[in-house]
Amino acid sequence: MSVEAQAFSVKRAEVEFHNFASLGEPDRAMAHYAEQNRRRGAVIRNHLAFIGEMTPFLEIGSNVGHTSYMLANEFGASGFALDLSADSLRHGIALRDAWGLERSPVRVAGDAANLPFADGSLKFVMAFQMLSQFMDMDQVFVEVKRVLAPGGVFLFAEEPLKRLLSARLYRCPYYDTMRPWERKLSDWGLLGYLVRDVIGAHQEESFGIRQNHTMGLKDWHRMIHKHFAEARFQVFVPERGWGERVVKRAATRLDPHRSEWRAARLLGGALAAVCKKEGSASELSFDQARFETHLQCPDCRGAMIRDESDTLRCPKCGYQASNEGGVYNLLPAREKAELYPGDRADVIDFSLPSHDARLIGPWYELEGVFGNKYRWIGERASAKLVPVKAGPQRLRIRGHASDGHPVKLTALANGSQVGEWTLPRAGLFLLEADLPAAAEHRIDIHAGPSWAVSSDDRVFTVNLSMIRLVPRD
């Protein structure tokens, strides 16, 4: 039985998460993206001779498109930034202004397992930290190979390597939400010997984003050579404190080639690979003013045209995607309708102005920037949701708990309790509960204990950024 590359519930979680988190704290996020670009640029420069011509390029899983902006401005390449989250790509235009950039990629929302690009239309495809979000990576490799021209190159990096030396006891959060004893073990380089997967996986998993951390070096090697004629590899082995430093140095000394490959098998880490498609490279022209010639319809795989209203259309099946804030959403029509519901009675998205009409009260004023719009609540708040789709429904609540304030949260639907949770850690949370059938749901959220600050006369518990109904899986 074939494995689904990525469940629809995971796609929904990724779209919601990246809209919220991509530029939620702009200064911090931009510093993080700049650091990522420094590392990624070094990987690209290390393999420039093997990569060759990079225009037209495609970055898949590009988030806000920061690495695509780097490729366009530092390397002079032209091409596309693609992500499942149209919102992230739209928010990413802020990078161009903040960093004083002259050139931009064409920004396209799309699915890496169903790329909206014509066969052999690209010279270079890159991906960072995204292959591990697919349960069946083979489907992504098939699509990348399809859209690459003969002799084209696929570069991926920052993909986790399965670690042998670990008891795999639990999933660990990111450093800033660790408990004191976890931080101490992390500083000593010992925490990796206890946890499942990679440090930080807990946050994505708790939000519904499933990650595939089953690939060791041999698995990656087998996958790459199944699809590509040549490849170059780079491994990055962690050295967090003496606990990992000692093992890494010993494993490197024992390796017959004095390489870090044996250390990578023991301690895990990250892999970068540059893979070349068979065939002789040839000239491939790219005119950014006519970028649509490289695209194909995500529904029927027909050729796309662009009309004078800057809308992409498929003459074959009638599919269309307008320019929405600089982004063309080329997800399959059925997925696009569900992942981007817009102003709908079963969704309260605080980043949309229309959300206010479905709040009952009491709520504090709207705060935040870009997709990270939220409202604080005190000990209770209420809202109204109306199902628009048939079938059993689940309540989905997204919010954030503050550091130092553990919270107990209870949700009621039409007066009946449907869920109760304790949030022991600070940070983003996502809660779900089954709902009884009803034509309309009054949702009451109770939270506590409350807390206050001396400069404000309000009391606080958590802040909330989305409340919605989703079909039960």
d(CA 120, CA 149): 4
Please report, for the chain, the start and end positions of each structural domain, with discontinuous segments joined by +. 8-276, 347-471
pLDDT at 149: 97
**33: buried, middle or exposed (CB in 10 Å: 19+, 13-18, 0-12)?**
buried
Quote the tokens at residue 364. 């504090």
Per DSSP (E only), the strands in 162-267 are 170-171, 195-196, 230-236
User: Which own/partner pairs from 240-244 qualify as long-range (CB within 8 Å, at least 24 positions apart)?
Assistant: 240/186, 240/187, 240/189, 240/191, 240/192, 241/186, 241/187, 241/188, 241/189, 241/190, 242/188, 242/189, 243/188, 243/189, 243/190, 243/192, 243/193, 244/189, 244/192
> Which amino acid belongs to residue 438?
A
Domain 347-471 sits in CATH at 2.60.120.260
């970068």: which residue's tokens? Answer: 272
d(CA 298, CA 296): 6
How many residues are present in the chain?
Answer: 473
DSSP β-bridge partners for residue 417? 412
d(CA 390, CA 128): 38
d(CA 201, CA 196): 8
State the CATH class of domain 8-276: alpha beta
d(CA 119, CA 112): 14
pLDDT at 1: 40
d(CA 310, CA 325): 11
Could you write out the three-class secondary structure of 306-364?
ECCCCEEECCCCCCEEEEECCEEECCCHHHHHHHCCCCCCCEEECCCHHHHHHEEECCC
Of 439, 437, 419, 438, which is closest to residue 429 (Cα–Cα)?
419
DSSP 55-75: -SEEEES-TTTHHHHHHHHHS
pLDDT tens for the chain, 473 residues: list them. Answer: 446 788 888 898 899 888 888 888 899 999 999 999 999 999 999 999 999 999 999 999 999 999 999 999 999 999 999 999 999 999 999 999 999 999 999 999 999 999 999 999 999 999 999 999 999 999 999 999 999 999 999 999 999 999 999 999 988 888 888 889 999 999 999 999 999 877 767 777 777 888 888 999 999 999 999 999 999 999 999 999 999 999 999 999 999 999 999 999 999 999 999 999 999 988 899 999 999 999 999 999 999 999 999 999 999 999 999 999 999 999 999 999 989 988 899 999 999 999 999 999 799 999 999 989 999 999 999 999 999 988 999 999 999 998 766 789 999 999 999 999 998 878 888 899 999 999 999 999 999 999 998 888 899 999 999 999 998 87
CB burial of 227-244 (b: ≥16 within 10 Å; e: otherwise) equals bbeebbeebbbbbbbebb
End-to-end CA distance of the chain: 19
CA quadruple 99, 104, 107, 113: dihedral positive or negative? negative
Show the CA angle centred on residue 74, arms to residues 73 and 75, nearest 5°: 100
Strands 407-413 and 416-423: antiparallel
Is there a contact between 205 and 170 (Cβ–Cβ < 8 Å)?
Answer: no
pLDDT at 404: 66
CB burial of 49-77 (b: ≥16 within 10 Å; e: otherwise) equals eebebbbbbbbbbbbbbbbbbbbbbebeb
């022991």: which residue's tokens? Answer: 424
Of 441, 449, 448, 439, which is closest to residue 418 (Cα–Cα)?
441
Number of other CB atoms surrounding residue 473 within 10 Å? 9
d(CA 2, CA 136): 9
